Homo-oligomer: A and B are copies of this chain.
Amino acid sequence: MHLTLEDIRQLEKRHRANLINSITGVKSANLIGTRNKECNTNLSVVSSVVHLGSNPALIGYIQRPRGVERHTFENIISTKKYTINSINSAITYPAHKTSARYPREKSEFEETGLTPEWLNDFYAPFVKESNIKIAMELVEVIPIPMNDTELVVGKVLEIYFPSAIYKTDGHLAVYETGTVGISGLDTYLSTEKIARYSYAKPDEPIIEI
């Protein structure tokens, strides 16, 4: 099937959102935890978390346009602290439920049954049910003028994970602990390792490691 720019433009809005959110393939599935200055917690599912660099360790995510209420983003701006928590197959339902537009005074933790966890005096809440938990500090918000979205850049401060998935060379086998992916806006995918390959060099064969 072949769709042109004009075909895509003419799609009904929700249909187009489903399609364009799907075409990039598997997306990461995370929950961003925050707490505002009044100590109300907030939790939000995101599928746009992206690795920016390892030294310093930087992670970004795409923030949707201003205009609607954006509790998570407001909390990040005002406190500079947030957490990124992996979604696993046991919590896809409550994770998806965090995407409902709850009023500002409601906490998605209470509304979805996910458990806030406070670790090492960090200001923002982690998700107890998650396997990989990252404490983040806001570094910069970079505007994407074309569509009024923003790239929120944060620095990794701390990481929590099960030691069983930590390989000797630093690789974290997140797929061994039920970490899921997201397809499109609303579909959760389990993952399974097919192959791990050696570092690719032009004149050397790649081997499975």
By a beta-carbon cutoff of 8 Å, the part of chain A in contact with chain B is: 1-5, 8, 11-30, 47-60, 62, 84, 86-87, 89, 92-93, 96-103, 106, 111, 119-120, 132, 134, 139-140, 142, 144-147, 149, 151, 153, 155-163, 166-167, 169-175, 179-181, 183-202, 206, 209
Interface of A is mostly: mixed
Give the copy number: 2
Are B57 and A14 closer than 8 Å at their CB atoms? no
From B102, B166, B193, contact of A187 by CB (8 A): B193
Q: Bound state CA distance, A53 and B78, in angstroms?
A: 25
Contacts of A53 in B (CB 8 A): 20, 146-147, 149
CB distance from A186 to the nearest CB of B (A): 5
Contacts of A190 in B (CB 8 A): 191-194
Q: A23-B172, A191-B189 are in contact. Are A62 and B55 (CB under 8 A)?
A: no
Contacts of A50 in B (CB 8 A): 24, 27, 48, 50, 62
Known: A51-B62, A139-B146, A175-B189. 15 other contacts (CB 8 A): A2-B158, A3-B158, A18-B171, A22-B174, A23-B172, A25-B132, A26-B28, A27-B50, A92-B194, A93-B206, A142-B144, A172-B183, A175-B187, A188-B194, A189-B191
